[in-house]
Chains A and B, each alone.
Chain A
Amino acid sequence: MSKQIDIRDLNVYYGDFLAVEGVNLTIKANSVMAFIGPSGCGKSTLLRSINRMHEVIPGAITKGQILLDGEDIYGPNVDPVLVRRTIGMVFQRPNPFPTMSIYENVIAGLKLEKDKSRKESMDDIVESSLRGANLWAEVKDRLKRPGASLSGGQQQRLCIARAIAVQPQVLLMDEPCSALDPISTLAIEDLIRELKDRYTIIIVTHNMQQAGRVSDNTAFFNISAVGQPGIMIETGPTSEIFTKPQNQQTEDYVSGRFG
């Protein structure tokens, strides 16, 4: 089910401001890619351009190509709505729909799907998605309660369940653990390792240990100065980026964080 992503010569703009410049990067199917780098270097911006969420901001545009198994998601006849159904996203702050129950939150995306080819019942999908997000045991007795009645960590896992219920091929996560306690963080990290059997995953994180624990490959981004575009400095297997980076900037960043 999961697919490979090739980013080719990608520039990402907010109006006239070039936020990310000249990214070339391949993310293999069924692998976890971590984006690391200092604040403001464009990690979120790049991530959001991968499921065309970037362009919902007025004036925001991209130039270049992003290929999903060879097909350009910025091609002329591609519907961004369909791209977003194929490439799911989990945000930094848990954002379950406050007016929906836990159950309704999980199936929110399914209700949008026009094709009725899936044969499982809604109940089965809710259960399997919540199990997939490691939340089933905690909520199975209160599926009718509001999604907002859960703890922050549970809400984030609910958002993951909501994202995987539509069976995307790629899952994008923007600092999914930054608002969570260490135990919820570990639960989500375990989940990411399980999910990569079925999805291609890209995760933005400020936590080096986390990148080390969950990712197969890492891409390091940096900016030369404030107001300059973010560029990708280096990418490679996570173990190599952390132990023997090729670039001095990567070395400084990685070692600085490790003290």
Chain B
Amino acid sequence: MATITQPPTQEQPLDPDGIAGSSVRRGDRTFLGLSTGSGIFVLVLMAGIAVFLIWQSIPAFTENTANPLTEQSWLPDADPPVFGFAVLFFGTIVTSIIAMLLAVPIGYGIALFIAFYAPARVASILGFLVDLLAAVPSIIFGLWGLYYFMPYVVPAAEWLSQYLGWIPLFANDPEIWTKSILMAGLVLAIMILPTVSAISREVFLQVPRMHVEAALALGATRWEMIRMAVFPFSRPGMISAAMLGLGRALGETIAVALVLSAVFEINWQITAPGGNSFAANIALKWGEAGDVGRSALIASGLVLFFITLIVNMTARWVISRRKDFSGAN
């Protein structure tokens, strides 16, 4: 295109001394160099982290006498060393799933309310508050959830075990709920809620006015308009918002460690103590670990690294389907 619309011969008379023309090209080249460089840097950094994790975890894998995928205990400094990721995997995935199940729909709901339902003045105040909350370190929410919110969970737990106790998931004594996987999931949900709602609000505000008006002019109610014009357009951004929330949930350490320190085992009764997450386990055990112990913790970090990678790649793949129909036209 550029060569057709602006052949070099036409540029000449406009720019006799060639300064402007070449400086534009130099600017382009600098920018290209910078952006390529940054792209390569990110790849090198990722590779570097992977190599470091693999390198440091080799001792643990060679010393381990159990199958790391199925073993349910964590005794890497024993003789012989025995450890496995099954419990951590279970705890991480289940707490994150619970957090996502709660925080993502509520987060989208909050964002939709602010973007499309709230009166203008209320919307701007709420939008500001949500952005502010998203910037607060998640541990603050974690602590709030632990010390303020937990007591209110017990009555809910009583209700659940009384009326839904026949479901194996909930069959438990309400008193021990506060140290459960479910509680950890709840705390995580509170922590990622502002992230999910702040980002999806931003995404909803990007929907072009003309698509919103097209739907309304066809006689859509507000909710129909949201389904017709907002969701299809915002889908990639909504997935990204959920993924960033998930990233925070997967990597959250202290709050989960505070809830789930009691037992290291897989317990399908999510209302009873049990499980632990990769990040929390690293934080809990690092200080007292020996050489093989540290190596084993790094190995668990490697597993978390790959989980995150897979989650993100899946999200990318979901986003890139139906690319022809993406909103970018």
Contact = CB atoms under 8 A, between A and B. Distances in A.
Contacts of A99: 232-233, 235, 322, 325-327
Given A97-B229, A98-B326, A146-B324, A91 B214 contact: yes
Contact of B214 (A58, A97, A101, A146): A97
A148 B213 contact: no
Contacts, number: 81
Interface in B24-79: none
Contacts of A59: 120
A95 B218 contact: no
Contacts of A81: 219-221
A84 interface: yes
What secondary structure prevails in chain B residues at the interface with A? helix
Contacts of A148: 325, 329
Interface centre among B213, B219, B232 (most CB of A within 10 A): B219
Interface in A45-62: 51, 53, 56, 58-59
A245 B235 CA distance: 54
Nearest to A82: B219
Given A91-B210, A95-B211, A100-B232, A53 B327 contact: no
A84 B213 CA distance: 11
A32 to B, nearest CB: 19
Nearest to B231: A99
Contacts of A97: 211, 214-215, 228-229, 232
Interface residues of B, number: 27
A50 to B, nearest CB: 11
A10 B293 CA distance: 80
Contacts of B125: none
Nearest to B233: A99
Contacts of A89: 217
Nearest to B328: A98
Contacts of B235: 99
Band of interface residues on A: 20 to 34
B211 A166 contact: no
A218 B119 CA distance: 38
B219 A93 contact: no
B183 to A, nearest CB: 39
B224 interface: yes
Given A56-B213, A59-B120, A166 B324 contact: no
A145 B329 CA distance: 14
A99 B228 CA distance: 9
Contact of B217 (A88, A96, A146): A88
Contacts of B327: 98-99
Interface in B268-284: none
Nearest to A101: B325
B254 interface: no
A209 interface: no
A98 B216 contact: no
A103 to B, nearest CB: 12
A85 B219 contact: yes
A108 B213 contact: no
A109 interface: yes
Nearest to A155: B329
Contacts of A101: 325
A84 B218 contact: yes
A160 B28 CA distance: 43
Given A99-B232, A100-B232, A109 B329 contact: no
Contacts of B325: 98-101, 146, 148
Nearest to A162: B218
A243 to B, nearest CB: 35
A84 B214 contact: no
Interface string A85-119: 10011010101111111000000110010000000
Nearest to A159: B214
A178 interface: no
Contacts of B220: 81, 112
Interface in B218-277: 218-221, 224, 228-229, 232-233, 235
List the 4 closest pairs (A to B, CB-CB), nearest first: A85-B219, A99-B232, A109-B218, A148-B329
Given A88-B218, A91-B210, 13 more contacts: A81-B219, A82-B219, A84-B216, A91-B213, A95-B214, A96-B214, A98-B233, A98-B327, A99-B327, A109-B219, A112-B224, A146-B324, A166-B219
6 contacts: A51-B217, A91-B217, A98-B211, A112-B228, A145-B324, A148-B325
Interface of B: 119-120, 208, 210-211, 213-221, 224, 228-229, 232-233, 235, 322, 324-329
